[in-house]
Amino acid sequence: MVTNTRLYGAAIAAASGLYSLWSATTASRMVTAGWIMAAVGVVVLVHGAVLLTDEADRLGASSGALMVGYAVVMLLVQALLGADMLAGGEPTGMDGMGSMGGMGETASAMGWDAGMVTLAALMLVSGLIMLRQGDEHGGGM
């Protein structure tokens, strides 16, 4: 049976996964952060779909742990982008063509995103709720 917690988790996973994919594919160029977010987006979407099936019963409390893990990866990528530590493979400074690379160029490729941070925070809360509910019901959802 699909519980309200699983419905909530699936909704958050769908929104986060789709937003991750959209964000990664609309960057002016695909950089490391884009590939990471695209991969996370696909995995999160699949996990969200699984939450709507009876297969979620097999996952039990580990489903909440997976949600927390995805959220941590999403938040880490956003923090690294915000600190300009996850560039698109080009060094900061002169790029050999007389223009300055670095933060401006990285931001145009894929900068940190407040919407992504918000969705990751919701996913983190969802995962923690799933973990808590799993503990209350002997590991199941």
Confidence of residue 95 (pLDDT cuts 50, 70, 90): very low
Please report, rounded to a whole number, the percentage of residues in the chain having pLDDT higher than 90: 33
Q: Cβ atoms within 10 A of the Cβ of 133, count?
A: 18
- Which residue carries 């979407």 as its tokens? 45
Question: Is the pLDDT score of 14 beyond 60?
Answer: yes
Residue 100 has pLDDT above 70, yes or no: no
Residue whose C-alpha is closest to residue 18's, from 38, 32, 2:
38
The stretch 60-76 carries a mean pLDDT of 89
> Is residue 106 classed as helix, strand or coil in its secondary structure?
helix
pLDDT score, position 10: 92
User: Has residue 79 been placed in a domain?
Assistant: yes
Distances in whole angstroms, Cα of residue 49 to Cα of each of 55, 76, 87, 132, 139: 10, 24, 32, 21, 20
Q: Is 125 helix (H, G, I), strand (E, B) or coil?
A: helix
Query: Distance (Å, rounded) from C-alpha 74 to C-alpha 95?
Result: 29
Q: Is residue 112 part of a domain?
A: yes
Kindly state whether residue 62 falls inside one of the protein's structural domains.
yes
* Structural domain harbouring 62: 4-136
Q: What is the mean pLDDT of residues 24-39?
A: 81
137 and 77 Cβ atoms separated by less than 8 Å:
no
- Specify the number of domains making up the chain: 1
Measure the CA–CA gap between 141 and 131, rounded to whole angstroms: 9
87-96, 103-112, 125-134, range with greatest mean pLDDT: 125-134
- Classify residue 141: in a domain, yes or no: no
* Torsions phi, psi for 89 (to 5 deg): 90, 0
Angle between helix axes 62-82 and 32-50 (nearest 10 degrees) is 160
